[in-house]
Amino acid sequence: MFKNKIVLLILVVAIVGILFYSLQGSEDYIATISEKRNEYAQTLANDKDSPIANLPNFTGFKYFEPNVDYRIEAEYKGTSDSGQSMILMTDSTQSEIKKAGEATFLLGGENYTVSLFDEGDIYLLPFRDLTSGKETYGGGRYINIPKDKLVGDKIEIDFNNAHNFYCAYNESYICPIPPKENFIKAEIKVGEKVYK
């Protein structure tokens, strides 16, 4: 009987420890996301070519609440073709872009495979989802994924880091249109919202 109480006490302490660690990890994660958002706002506020530089009635960026469930580990497969691809732009032209590979992940019980593009020290993931044109910019959003998030054949995609393209703020900017394979048939209610 005494042994059972000790085992039960150990289990309770372990569960409390795990819960505390999980909550602490969530708080740290939310603080990190908030810090990244503040850095992004400062960068655009201080950039003379910023799309928000002369924007009347701009009161700041709007975001969904961070949600750790949208930090996803995806399977990555690099392309064997090292050449340039073409991507459609908002002015109906096409621009050369280097396709780096594809990421496959599970979201909301569905598998998705999206194209990632090589932008030097980051991978660019332009995407649209079921919030596009409603709570988020109709032209889609993007995530800059640091290349160190690729480890072996796994890559971390954090949709909490999704931002609007510059043309969401100023139509004189020319932005890429996410390719059709990057349409995610789910509501991704994290990251940046439409600003209006």
Whole-prediction pTM value?
0.83
The verdict on residue 91 lying in a domain is yes
pLDDT tens string, the chain, 196 residues long: the values are 555 545 444 544 444 344 344 444 578 999 999 999 999 988 888 888 888 887 877 888 999 999 999 999 999 999 877 678 899 999 999 999 999 999 999 999 999 999 999 999 999 999 999 999 999 999 999 999 999 999 999 999 999 999 999 999 988 999 999 999 999 999 999 999 998 7
Report the domain count for the chain: 1
SS3 at position 14: helix
The verdict on residue 121 lying in a domain is yes
Confidence at residue 14, expressed as pLDDT on a 0 to 100 scale: 44
Confidence at residue 4, expressed as pLDDT on a 0 to 100 scale: 52
Confidence at residue 95, expressed as pLDDT on a 0 to 100 scale: 95
The verdict on residue 110 lying in a domain is yes
Residues 122/144, Cβ–Cβ less than 8 Å:
yes
Cα first-last separation, the chain: 64
The verdict on residue 126 lying in a domain is yes
Measured distance CA(152)–CA(77) in Å, rounded: 10
Among the listed residues 176, 156, 158, the one whose alpha carbon sits nearest the alpha carbon of residue 166: 176
The verdict on residue 32 lying in a domain is no
Among the listed residues 124, 120, 49, 112, the one whose alpha carbon sits nearest the alpha carbon of residue 87: 124
Domain limits for position 76: 55-184
Find how far residue 31's CA is from the centre of its chain.
16
The verdict on residue 169 lying in a domain is yes
Confidence at residue 7, expressed as pLDDT on a 0 to 100 scale: 43
The verdict on residue 116 lying in a domain is yes
CA 47 → CA 36, 44, 51, 151, distances in Å? 17, 5, 9, 33
The verdict on residue 156 lying in a domain is yes
Residues 6+ apart with CB under 8 A from 116: 76, 99, 100, 101, 102, 103, 123, 124, 125, 145, 155
